[in-house]
Amino acid sequence: MKHFRPPRNLSKMPKSTRTNVLILLVLVLIVVPAADFVLLLAAGGRIGWPLTLALAVLTGIVGAGLAKQQGIRTWIEIRHALSHGQLPSAPLLEGAMILFAGAVLLTPGFITDTVGFLLLVPPSRRWLAKRIVAYFRKRMQAAQGRQSADGKGWNFSAKWSTKPAGDDDEIIDMDPSSVTEDVPHNLKGHDD
């Protein structure tokens, strides 16, 4: 039985993906904070430091309140979907976006505050969530049928079929009450 093993060496990641991740990290960790700092300095020089500081604190307080309100609303959507036997994928994604919005609103700066407030507004958050889902759906469709170079990765080529089972197809019929929570030790990450 093949076991899933995550790649141990990130250098096996395609070069274009590594470059994109590096550019994103530089942008998020260096460029955005530097631009926010420059904007805060400019605002402090233009409207005064006490007002700039008050504005930064006010956006943090208002943002925390909005994040709490939107988080509670999203939590209710998640519970509603689960109580109706549905997978709450959209509310979970929106919940992650609200959490991210709350985090960036706590950092002082006009750029991060703008991003945070945009993520707290439901129409813009849903618009971005649709784009994220479409991006990952496209990536998963592109990955169908591919395996890792060493042949030990997951194979995404499985297709569901609605055709009736033939004589050579194996059908496993199980009673749900016979399924237990016990996991064989060879599925817990052991190699034996």
Of 121-130, 165-174, 183-192, where does mean pLDDT reach its minimum? 183-192
How many domains, the chain?
A: 1
Residue 6 has pLDDT above 70, yes or no: no
For residues 143 and 158, what is the distance between their CA atoms, to the nearest angstrom? Answer: 12
Give 82-101 pLDDT, tens digit per residue. 999 988 888 999 999 999 99
Q: Does 1 map to a domain?
A: no
Domain encompassing residue 138: 14-143
Q: Does 66 map to a domain?
A: yes
Q: Does 34 map to a domain?
A: yes
Of 14-28, 125-139, 143-157, 175-189, where does mean pLDDT reach its minimum? 143-157
Give 99-149 pLDDT, tens digit per residue. 999 989 888 889 999 999 999 999 999 999 999 888 888 878 776 655 444
pTM: 0.62
| H or E segment to which residue 16 belongs | helix 15-26
DSSP secondary structure string, 112-143?
HHHHHHHHHSHHHHHHHHHHHHHHHHHHHHHH
Q: Does 46 map to a domain?
A: yes
Q: Does 122 map to a domain?
A: yes
Q: Does 154 map to a domain?
A: no
Q: What pLDDT score does 99 carry?
A: 93
Q: What pLDDT score does 77 carry?
A: 93
For residues 188 and 185, what is the distance between their CA atoms, to the nearest angstrom? Answer: 5
Residue 172 has pLDDT above 90, yes or no: no
Q: Does 161 map to a domain?
A: no
Residue 58 has pLDDT above 70, yes or no: yes
Residue 159 has pLDDT above 60, yes or no: no
Q: Does 174 map to a domain?
A: no
